[in-house]
Amino acid sequence: MPVYVNLRLVAEETVHLEGELPVAEFGADYQDEIIHFDQPLKYSLDVDRQPDGLLVAGSLSTSVGCECARCLQPFRFPIELEHFAALAELKGEEAITIEGEFGDLTPLLREDIYLGLPANPLCRPDCRGLPEKASARDLRLEESPPDGSSPWTALDQLKL
Ligand SMILES: [Zn+2]
């Protein structure tokens, strides 16, 4: 269920909304190879009537599953918005969807969560990438053919 605010109620007083938004409501259509939404979004919000809409303010938190951009290891990335604030317009092009006496605040929350996502997720700031691959490459370089089939062998023999 989306995050709905009762417009009749908020016209009279501050409305407090608290709960968990299922992944299906905010992250299901987010397509990314290295970031996966798999946890609900926890919200605690106060909604106040303003002259030009509704002020929605409070905290949002969730965490996403990421793959490190350097070493490809999976890790959790927490998203904590302690001071979320947005204006929900009730008229015009940017207006929120209104069904009956309820306004849908979900898109506002979704937008800020997407903005909080890491552009280049790293398992830790100093991740050095894939050490196994690098050492395998070094090993191959050090291995010289033991049977003397190197192109230099002929040259060495000339010098003799
Ligand atoms: Zn890493």
Compute, in angstroms, the gap from residue 126 CA to the centroid of ligand 1.
Answer: 8
Give the confidence band of 27 by pLDDT, cuts at 50, 70, 90.
confident
Domain boundaries, the chain: 4-159
| Cα 71 to ligand 1 centre (Å) | 4
> Cα(36) to centroid of ligand 1, in Å?
16
**The whole model's pTM is what?**
0.76
127 CA from centroid of ligand 1 (Å): 5
In the prediction, which pLDDT does 89 show? 96
Q: What angle do CA 91, 48, 56 make, to 5 degrees?
A: 75
- Assess whether pLDDT exceeds 60 at residue 75: yes
Residues in the chain: 160
Distance CA 124, CA 106 (A): 31
User: In angstroms, what is the span from residue 135 Cα to ligand 1's centroid?
Assistant: 16
Question: pLDDT digit string (tens) for 82-134?
Answer: 999 999 999 999 999 999 999 999 999 999 999 989 888 999 999 998 766 55
